[in-house]
Amino acid sequence: QVGLQESGPGLLKPSQTLSLTCTVSGASISTGTYFWGWIRQAAGNGLEWVGRIWTSGDPDYNPSLKSRVRILVDTSKSQFSLRLTSVTAADTAVYYCARGHWGMFESWGQGTLVTVSS
Amino acid sequence: EIVLTQSPGTLSLSPGERATLSCRASQYISSTYLAWYQQKPGQAPRLLIYGASSRATGVPARFSGSGSETDFILTISRLEPEDFAVYYCQHYGTSPPIFTFGPGTKVDIK
């Protein structure tokens, strides 16, 4: 059974860059049938897709974040990462990493809270 | 851009009752790419239904999904205490690739 664990700083100042890593265990990150994604959830709000990446292809990003987001994969470490530049308070959220298949996210990490505050 | 609308916003029911949750798309979507998730407080979402009607691994049979085109339904036949949660529908658009979530329906105890 696949495991996903998010890690990274929990507190950022406005204009800084958010960097999170998701470590995958119990399954190969290189399996071509799966993609790896990030979803976020602001407090009391719904779910917002941030982006996803295939280990063998280009990433796809939410158009509303595309100019600020980058997702990379490191198969040697069984990790994928999220970078979001120029953060503001509106980027404060719980960030989840997840494994996807077809058009859904079938396995999720527990989530990590990122707060943007001066 | 496809927008998903879920109704009702909150559904107050008692254990043992039937829950019917609606997800409506702003335009036709393929049922292949319609999923439902359950989220409990402090937890990550859990995939319940994919392809509009297929249960994910380990999901109890009391959960069922149906629908097509623009209207989709998640039914919980008899609510168990652990089913009180927020439920989200989600669509995957292929061109361009984009994942869209509905705003959620909260099922709480009456």
- Residue A18 and residue A8 in contact, taking contact as beta carbons nearer than 8 Å: yes
State yes or no: pLDDT of A32 exceeds 90: no
Residues contacting A36, CB < 8 A, separation 6+: A22, A24, A29, A52, A53, A54, A55, A71, A73, A80, A97, A98, A99, A100
- Residue of chain B minimizing CA distance to A97: B44
pLDDT of A17 above 80: yes
The arithmetic mean of pLDDT across residues A76-105, rounded, is: 97
Cβ contact A105–B47 (<8 Å): yes
**Cα dihedral sign, A21-B39-B48-B10:** negative
Position A59 pLDDT exceeds 90: yes
The pLDDT-based confidence of A44 (bands split at 50, 70, 90) is confident
Give the mean pLDDT of A56-67: 92
The answer to whether A64 contacts chain B (CB < 8 Å) is: no
CA nearest to B38, candidates B99, B92, B104: B104
Q: Which residues pair with B61 in a beta bridge?
A: none
Count of helix runs (H) and strand runs (E) in chain B: 0, 11
Please work out, in degrees rounded to the nearest 5, the angle formed at the alpha carbon of residue B61 by the alpha carbons of B55 and B66: 55
Instruction: Tell me the pLDDT of chain A averaged across its residues.
Output: 96
Amino acid at B38: Q
Task: Find, among A58, A78, A103, A91, the residue nearest to A5 by Cα.
Answer: A78
Q: Which of A46, A62, A109 sits opposite B103 (nearest CB)?
A: A46
Dist. CA B76–CA B105, nearest whole Å: 13
- pLDDT beneath 70, residues of chain B: none
- Yes or no, beta carbons of A102 and B50 under 8 Å apart: yes
Percent of chain A with pLDDT over 90: 92
Query: How confident is the model over A92-104, as a mean pLDDT?
Result: 96
A78 secondary structure, DSSP code: T
Q: Is the pLDDT of residue A55 over 90?
A: no
Contact A60 B96 (CB under 8 A): yes
